[in-house]
């Protein structure tokens, strides 16, 4: 069964086409990497799949639901870790988890059990009553991943989940994610700029540039079609070496800086 289906998706912002007629699908239990340079349209696509942004045209299906007309069904189907932080730092880690559970209508008993189990999984249970503002960058990320799972979603969206983290934390976070994928056949849709990461964990990859998907397939397929030795080389060959200007709002940039420091 296809968990994510995208057909001829287009998004225009005042004359600028951020996503230009893309189509792809992700099957149940797949680990799917969505790669591309800055400003290629990755986050815009994720926002449309997760009901935060309305497409200009095209067809979307998430867990069989239409994010435009079946918003709440769609929202219940996925968990998400955003590119920039989205936890309340003035609350404790546990309170953030609890807040999420209540918003998703998880009943008290189940909620209490799952929160403990998930916080133990990401090694934060002992620090559950600390304010998140005292957490390190890696701890915040782990908390966000755990939070996104409280309602047992079928799909997990991860928008650059390991940005600004050290290799130890990155490996640790991927271990958790792959465990979830193996244990619950949870579909993983992620973006990253670390090509080795994508090479290691993704079943399938799509590379997007200037709003268009330029190639897709397994790592092997992409490497052989470009006759390169690594995904990074293939990526550079396909997308060129010039540095991109991301069209981010001042708000995104500020959040990003905060996270990089944190």
Partner 1 sequence: MIQTIYIMWLRQLKRYWRSKPRLIGSIGQPLLFLVAFGFGFSPVFEKAGGVDYMQFLVPGIIAMTILFTSMFTGIEVVWDKKFGFLKETLVAPISRTDIMVGRTLGGATISVIQGLVVLVLTLLIGFRPISWFSIIPAIFFMFLVSIFLTGFGTSIASRIDDMQAFPMIMNLLIMPMFFLSGALFPIDDLPSFIKILVLVNPLTYGVDGLRATLTGNLSFSLGLDLAVLAGLSILVNMVGAWLFSRIEI
Residue 86 within binding range of partner 1, rule CB under 8 A: yes
Residue 164 within binding range of partner 1, rule CB under 8 A: no
CB of 25 to partner 1, least distance (A): 21
Span 24-53, contacts to partner 1 by CB under 8 A = 47, 50-53
Strand residues in the chain grouped as ranges (E): 2-13, 16-27, 31-35, 57-62, 78-81, 155-159, 187-191, 204-209, 212-217
DSSP for 115-181? HHHHHHHTT-GGGTTSBGGGS-HHHHHHHHHHHTTTT--SEEEEESTTTT--HHHHHHHHHHHHHHH
Residue 18 within binding range of partner 1, rule CB under 8 A: no
Residue 251 within binding range of partner 1, rule CB under 8 A: yes
Residues near partner 1 (CB under 8 A), total: 35
DSSP state of 106: -
Q: Are 55 and 48 in contact (CB under 8 A)?
A: yes
Q: Which is nearer to partner 1, 129 or 183 (CB)?
A: 129
Residue 213 within binding range of partner 1, rule CB under 8 A: no
Strand partners for 60: 6
Q: Which stretch binds partner 1 (CB under 8 A): 19-27, 75-83, 215-223, 240-248?
A: 75-83
Helix, strand, or coil (residue 185): coil
Residue 46 token pair: 């994720």
The pairing of strands 187-191 and 155-159 is parallel
Span 105-124, contacts to partner 1 by CB under 8 A = 105
Residue with the two structure tokens 């996503």: 19
Q: Which is nearer to partner 1, 151 or 176 (CB)?
A: 151
Interface characters, 220-249, with partner 1 (x: CB under 8 A): -----------------------------x
Q: Which stretch binds partner 1 (CB under 8 A): 88-96, 171-179, 213-221, 223-231?
A: 88-96
Which residues contact partner 1 by CB under 8 A?
47, 50-54, 71-73, 75-76, 78, 80, 82, 84-91, 95, 98-100, 102-105, 249, 251, 254-255, 258
């Amino acid at each position: 069964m296809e968990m994510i289906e995208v057909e001829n998706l287009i998004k225009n912002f005042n004359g600028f086409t951020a996503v230009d007629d893309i189509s792809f699908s992700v099957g149940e239990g797949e680990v799917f990497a969505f790669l591309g340079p800055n400003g290629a349209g990755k986050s815009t696509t994720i926002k449309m799949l997760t009901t935060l942004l309305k497409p200009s045209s095209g067809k979307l299906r998430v867990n069989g639901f239409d994010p435009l007309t079946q918003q709440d069904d769609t929202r219940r189907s996925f968990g998400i870790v955003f590119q920039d932080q989205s936890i309340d730092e003035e609350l404790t880690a546990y309170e953030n988890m609890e807040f999420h559970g209540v918003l998703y209508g998880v009943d008290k008993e189940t909620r209490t059990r799952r929160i403990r189990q998930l916080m133990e999984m990401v090694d934060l249970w002992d620090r559950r009553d600390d304010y998140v503002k005292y957490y390190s960058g890696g701890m915040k990320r782990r908390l966000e991943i755990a939070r996104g799972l409280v309602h047992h979603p079928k799909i997990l969206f991860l928008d650059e989940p390991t940005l600004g983290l050290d290799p130890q934390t990155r490996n640790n976070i991927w271990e958790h994610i792959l465990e979830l994928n193996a244990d619950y056949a949870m579909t993983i849709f992620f973006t990253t700029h670390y090509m080795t990461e994508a090479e290691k964990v993704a079943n399938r990859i799509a590379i997007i540039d200037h709003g268009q998907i330029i190639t897709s397939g397994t790592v092997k397929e992409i490497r052989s079609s470009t006759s390169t030795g690594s995904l990074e080389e293939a990526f550079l060959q396909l997308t060129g070496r010039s540095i991109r200007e991301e069209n981010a709002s001042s708000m995104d940039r500020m959040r990003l800086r905060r996270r990089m420091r944190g």
